[in-house]
């Protein structure tokens, strides 16, 4: 049975680098997915020029119908799924003029809830030994949340997906009211969204550990500060360097003991998500 790997948001940036790395190293079909068909097919054509053979499928993570169509396609063509890299993410620029409440709502929707919707749709397809990689960030470290009480709630080893979702919505409502900093959330919607992604990864691994399917592994990863459109091309790392840790996690061997349900830095080191310290930015 042919193995299959999927990368969300694969038409540019780190996602494109991850698709490229998987095409070079993975023994199976690799799917570059993108919201825009034209851009996605152009990215595939670019990789084909390098002698690589990615597949393409449209996927808009903010559209449940699109997610469901992709799930049905994978189910019919491959029956299962072996690698899922949740890469899609948005970030408002520092000079964005949208009200902060709007920025918070849109950022949490795409970076947290849409990622969760993809997981809900595709996790039932995961085969034994499947690997899931959730793209977090250096901003996804718990210490990016200033409020001690909030950090305690997020670090609770018994935190559930439902409670975490409620916390994400709490932040959005606080952002709309304008009292988010007073309540301890800090002033970065991107940081809150990526802290959510990190925390979700730990919850997912706990569920995988009880799953009858053998050896399911999920990790959150900070890919590094990469020269992409999202960083306004300020990052010192190339797209290929940013893809290294995510590709490493996507290709963890069967029966791997560690990392499993960890927060992994771009140098592939496991980082203490609760206490830090965080390694260097890159």
pTM across the whole model: 0.97
* Local confidence band at 156 (pLDDT 50, 70, 90 cut-offs): very high
- On the question of pLDDT at 266 being above 90, the answer is yes
- CATH number of residue 247's parent domain: 3.40.50.720
263 is catalytic: no
Cβ atoms of 135 and 226 closer than 8 Å: no
Q: Is residue 219 part of a domain?
A: yes
Q: Tell me the mean pLDDT in the region 92-108.
A: 96
Q: What is the mean pLDDT of the chain?
A: 96
Cβ atoms of 133 and 246 closer than 8 Å: yes
**pLDDT score recorded for residue 279:** 80
Question: Which domain covers residue 233, as residue numbers?
Answer: 4-92+114-138+194-264
Q: Is residue 33 part of a domain?
A: yes
Give me the sign of the Cα torsion angle 46, 236, 223, 148: negative
Least confident of 19-33, 68-82, 109-123, 232-246: 232-246
| Domains of the chain: total | 1
Q: Is residue 150 part of a domain?
A: no
Region of 261 please: left (phi>0), alpha (psi -120 to 50) or beta. Answer: left
Q: Tell me the mean pLDDT in the region 172-187.
A: 98
Q: Is residue 130 part of a domain?
A: yes
- On the question of pLDDT at 282 being above 90, the answer is no
Q: Is residue 44 part of a domain?
A: yes
Looking at the chain, the whole-number percentage of residues with pLDDT higher than 70 is: 99
- On the question of pLDDT at 232 being above 80, the answer is no
Q: Is residue 17 part of a domain?
A: yes
From 190, 248, 263, 282, the catalytic residue: 190
Determine whether 179 is exposed, middle or buried from the number of CB atoms within 10 Å of its CB (0-12, 13-18, 19+).
exposed
Q: Is residue 168 part of a domain?
A: no
Q: Is residue 101 part of a domain?
A: no
**pLDDT score recorded for residue 277:** 83
**pLDDT score recorded for residue 228:** 84
Tell me how far CA of residue 120 lies from CA of 87, 94, 99, 125, in angstroms: 16, 32, 30, 10
Q: Tell me the mean pLDDT in the region 213-241.
A: 91
């Amino acid at each position: 049975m042919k193995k299959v790997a999927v990368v969300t948001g694969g038409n540019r940036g780190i996602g494109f680098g991850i698709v490229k790395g998987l095409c070079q190293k993975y023994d199976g079909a690799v799917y570059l997915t993108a919201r825009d068909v034209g851009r996605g097919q152009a990215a595939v054509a670019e990789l084909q020029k390098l002698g690589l053979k990615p597949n393409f499928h449209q996927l808009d993570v903010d559209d449940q119908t699109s997610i469901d169509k992709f799930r049905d396609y994978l189910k019919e063509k491959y029956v299962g799924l072996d690698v899922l890299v949740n890469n899609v993410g948005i970030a408002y620029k520092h000079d964005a003029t949208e009200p902060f409440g709007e920025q918070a709502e849109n950022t949490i929707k795409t970076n947290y809830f849409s990622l969760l919707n993809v997981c809900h749709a595709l996790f039932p397809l995961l085969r034994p030994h499947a690997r899931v990689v959730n793209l977090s960030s250096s901003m996804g470290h718990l210490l990016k949340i200033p409020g001690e009480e909030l950090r305690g709630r997020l670090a609770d080893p018994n935190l559930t997906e439902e409670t975490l979702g409620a916390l994400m919505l709490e932040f959005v409502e606080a952002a709309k009211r304008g009292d988010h900093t007073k309540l301890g959330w800090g002033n970065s919607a991107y940081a809150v969204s990526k802290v959510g992604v990190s925390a979700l990864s730990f919850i997912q691994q706990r569920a995988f550990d009880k799953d009858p399917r053998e050896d399911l592994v999920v990790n959150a990863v900070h890919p590094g500060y990469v020269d992409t459109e999202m960083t306004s091309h300020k990052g010192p790392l190339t797209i290929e360097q940013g893809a290294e840790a995510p590709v490493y996690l996507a290709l963890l061997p069967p029966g791997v003991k560690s990392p499993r349900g960890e927060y992994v830095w771009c140098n592939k080191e496991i980082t203490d998500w609760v206490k830090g310290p965080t390694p260097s930015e890159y």
